[in-house]
Amino acid sequence: MSRLPLILLFVVFAAASSEDVREPEGLWSGPINSAVPATITGGKVIQAKEIARLLKQGKPLVVDVSNESKRPPGMAPDAPWLPLPQEVIPGSVWLPGAGMPDIAPETDALFRELLSQTTGGDHDHIVVIYCHERCWLSWNAAKRAIGYGYRRVYWFPEGVEGWRAAGNTTAIAKPWTPEARVKDSNPTE
Read off the pLDDT of each residue in 150-165 and give the average, rounded to a whole number: 98
Establish how many alpha carbons lie within 13 A of residue 118's alpha carbon, considering only the half-sphere containing its beta carbon.
Answer: 27
Contact 107, 82 (CB under 8 A): no
Distance between CA 44 and CA 16 in Å, rounded?
A: 21
pLDDT of residue 18: 60
pLDDT of residue 188: 32
**Max CA-CA distance within the chain?**
69
Q: Between the CA of residue 91 and those of 18, 62, 124, 160, 175, what are the distances in Å?
A: 28, 7, 19, 13, 13
Distance between CA 40 and CA 128 in Å, rounded?
A: 13
pLDDT of residue 72: 87
Question: For 10-61, how does the pLDDT look when each residue is reduced to its tens digit (9 = 90+)?
Answer: 434 444 556 689 999 999 999 999 999 999 999 999 999 999 999 999 889 9
Query: Under CATH, which number does the domain 30-69+84-185 receive?
Result: 3.40.250.10
Question: For 108-140, how does the pLDDT look when each residue is reduced to its tens digit (9 = 90+)?
Answer: 999 999 999 999 999 999 999 999 999 999 999
Asked if pLDDT for residue 183 goes beyond 60, the answer is: no
Each residue of 126-155: b (16+ CB within 10 Å) or e? bbbbbbbbbbbbbbbbbbbbbeeebebbbb
pLDDT of residue 17: 55
Contact 171, 90 (CB under 8 A): yes
Question: For 73-103, how does the pLDDT look when each residue is reduced to its tens digit (9 = 90+)?
Answer: 999 989 998 889 999 999 999 999 999 999 9
State if pTM tops 0.95.
no
